[in-house]
Amino acid sequence: MQTLERLHERIEARFPNAGLARMCASLIQTARVSIAQAARMAAANWPLRFIVGAIIVAGVGAQIAAAKYLHLSEFEVGLLGNLEAAVNLLILFGGAIWFLLTLEERQKRQRALDALHQLRSFAHVIDMHQLTKDPVALLQERAPPRRMSKFELSRYLDYCAEMLALIGKIAALYAERVRDPVVIETVTEIENLTNGIARKIWQKITLLGDIEESGAA
């Protein structure tokens, strides 16, 4: 959080009232929510577990009562229909138990995926910001009057790269706290996305350095 807040201060000081500064402020709020949410996901949901356990115990009791009602202890040919009904009940009960036992995990997975989708959206917005910052076009004489200087353009692109790196770090919190394959795969996709965009940004920064060296020569 402190890194994000310092980054926002730097952006606001260099580019006051810029869209990048507002987006960084929104990312700070999202990071705060993500940190708290990831911490909650790591803890066990004891009320839910108690309710699930009570339902399972009640279900087991109902199965035992049903078995006594159907007289399954007597192996008579006439009870084949009752035996088939009992097997069907056991299958349905097993499916219900699986649903209940995985309920907490599925809830955590959905909350994590919703948060990760928001982080992915931030990465795409940053990509849109950096796409309009072409070193060659902005440094030409025919560029818009509000074109950035070489130093400002370099700082802007560097801020974008820093924000992308922090987005990857925030996403990694969910992989650390929720050991779910789907969540881990989504986090990996976000990290690959941010790394790919960051590579494009560093290519622009390198090109900008080459342009500066050429100008100095």
- 21-64 residue pLDDT tens: 888 999 999 988 888 888 887 666 667 677 777 777 777 776 66
For 147-201, write each residue's pLDDT tens digit. Answer: 677 788 888 899 999 999 999 999 998 888 888 889 999 999 999 999 999 999 9
Residues 6+ apart with CB under 8 A from 203: none
CATH of domain 2-43+104-212: 1.20.1050
| Structural domain spans, the chain | 2-43+104-212, 46-101
**Residues 164 and 198: beta-carbon distance below 8 Å:** yes
Rg (CA), the chain: 28
Residue 78 DSSP code: G
State phi, psi for 207 to the nearest 5 degrees: -65, -40
Over range 64-69, report the average pLDDT. Answer: 65
Read off the pTM. Answer: 0.73
Q: Strand locations in the chain, DSSP E?
A: none
Q: How far apart are CA 43 and CA 163, in angstroms?
A: 28
For 194-215, write each residue's pLDDT tens digit. Answer: 999 999 998 888 887 776 666 5
